Amino acid sequence: MIAKWVRVKIKPEMRQRFLDAIEVDALGSEQDEPGCVRFNVLQDVTDENVYYFYEVYVDEAAVDAHRAAPHYAVWQDAADTLAEPTERIECRSVFPADPKYWMGK
């Protein structure tokens, strides 16, 4: 499994536009992409303008499929809501090691 932590900082005055776009992408990813096993959006407790995306994909082909999906384009169209460049951390799952855990949406 491939996991991604993405940190974004938004422009406060564009919060609702950001939330609308990332909701489309997150829900579309989990519902429409067999290779996306998790897409969570979290808000920082110390800075309400900072959000984290926790995404888990079965492989690189699933990541590529995600980037080609229509709901990803909705997110891309909302890039002007960001106050600074995104930060990404890429990981591989270690535990739980059983793929059934990750696939149990």
Q: Closest Cα partner for 10 from 42, 52, 50, 40? A: 50
Question: Among all chains, which residue has been given the structure tokens 């600074």?
Answer: 84
Identify the three-state secondary structure at position 78: coil
Note the pLDDT of residue 95: 83
Residue spans of the domains in the chain: they are: 2-103
CATH number of 2-103, picked from 3.40.50.720, 3.30.70.100, 3.40.50.300, 3.40.50.1820: 3.30.70.100
Tens digit of pLDDT at every position of the chain (105 positions): 899 999 999 999 999 999 999 999 999 999 999 999 999 999 999 999 999 999 999 999 999 999 999 999 999 999 999 999 999 999 888 888 887 787 765
